[in-house]
Amino acid sequence: MAKEKKKDDKDVKLKAKVKKLRAKVKALTSDVSTAAPAKAKAKSVSVSPLAPAHFPELPAIAGVEFASAAAGVKYAGRTDVMLARIAPGASIAGVFTTSSTRAACVLDCQSKLAMRVPKDAGAAIIVNSGNANAFTGKNGQKAVDMVTGAVAKALDLPISRVFSSSTGVIGEPLPFERIVLAVDGLAQRLSGDGIEDAARAIMTTDTYPKGASAVIEGEGGPITIAGIAKGSGMIAPNMATMLVYIFTDAKITPARLQKMLSRQVDDTFNAITVDSDTSTSDALIMAATGQSPASEIHDLRSQVAKDFEAALRTVMMDLAHQVVRDGEGATKFVEVRVTRAASAEDAHKVAMAVANSPLVKTAIAGEDANWGRVVAAVGKSGAKADRDKLTISFGDMVLAEKGWRAPSYSEADASAYMKGDELVIGVDLGLGRANKSVWTCDLTHRYIDINADYRS
């Protein structure tokens, strides 16, 4: 009881601080545009050539509403904040970056997920782009408290049920006043059909918004899943390496939801890489509202549970692949397929060594069938390998085997294959039964252009 009273006192104090801050901001400005100093507008970028034709038509999830706004976090006039309100009684699960320099919002989310959930409490997620609020000292947590406190007050929620994410520049103080000022307007515009705008609001160097969905038949009715993601650069496995928000109307406990979510990460979000860099701010948060007419998923061994987890995996894989397809400067979508490794660990090491090799990635960008670079990447991976048992293939073509170039090798055919938009690099180690696929993209000069002046 003493702990609960202490938490309640903290909520009251935070809400009081938010109220004072709001009054101060309103005294200085009448709208968001004047609250933020004039800044250059975001640079226009062309959409990735690997992008889907259009944003998918995502089904509404009963018990979830969205709103977005231009708060001027980094750029004037750019939609950069999204709010999701989640119905009372929802189950929340999450997976976060393993970076040792995690952002304040990540640490805050992890702490809140470990707390005892108030009975029948609603929840909310608020996300800003343009500033990561990472490596900002004690001010980082203060910013999180002020933003989540404002949402808690506006939506009448416990602050322990308001989760936040920030993405963008590292090391710059988050101008949280601008987000706080936008909260009331966001709360008033919440709508069940605002998920596409929410997907656009969380973009940074992304060239298109990312969404995916799935529907299964449960016991008594359909169960629907819909998710959105952002990610383009600073993408490398170590959880999810991006921001991802998945919503479902399934009836399922937080523990069961967490178990499903966690065990699907390794082969989806942990199996992609753009540039081998892990972000400080990555978060994957999932909410299950329990408002489907289908019965609750009690037994994870049941057919419905298996169908639900398979559908969840499909959504996660779709979003993960979309992130790679939107890799900064990407023109090629590449699967690195490792087979017959001595162990699962070795399969992963080899796959990531090839997928992250700058020499391999630049050869792909130049459409150069330089399979020798793949051989070199296998050798440096630290995994067990045998020259005379190793086979390298591009698509269906075997390029090297038995310690030498394959007799059937054709430079013309290999070069022609490299001109495709979607490529498969195969590495058969011939040592065991472990397999692993990871997905990556090429490394072009455009990647350098984007990141050489990212802060400006």
The answer to whether the beta carbons of residues 165 and 240 sit under 8 Å apart is no
At 247, give phi and psi (nearest 5°).
-130, 140
To the query of whether residue 205 is one of the catalytic residues in this protein, the response is: no
For the record, the structure tokens of 334 come out as: 């590449």
Backbone region of residue 172 per phi and psi (left: phi > 0; alpha: psi in -120 to 50; beta: other values)? beta
Give 269's DSSP letter: G
Alpha helices in 233-343 (DSSP H): 254-263, 303-325
Where do we find the tokens 């479902």? Answer: 248
* DSSP strands (E only) in 220-366: 221-230, 243-248, 283-288, 333-341
What is the residue-wise DSSP string for 75-114? STT---EEEEEE-TT-EEEEEE---TT--HHHHHHHHHHT
List, in order, residues 6 or more apart from 383 with CB less than 8 Å away: 341, 342, 345, 346, 347, 349, 350, 353, 429
Q: Could you tell me the sign of the dihedral formed by the alpha carbons of 183, 186, 192, 195, in that order? A: negative
The residues near 396 (Cβ < 8 Å, ≥ 6 apart) are none
Separation between Cα atoms, residue 83 and residue 185, nearest integer Å: 10
> What is the Rg, in whole angstroms, of the alpha carbon atoms belonging to the chain?
23
Point out the catalytic residue in the list 241, 248, 280, 444.
241
Whether residue 232 contacts residue 204, with contact meaning beta carbons closer than 8 Å, is answered with yes
Do residues 286 and 261 make contact, with C-beta atoms less than 8 angstroms apart?
Answer: yes
Residue 294 · residue 146 · CB < 8 Å: no
Tell me the catalytic residues.
Answer: 241
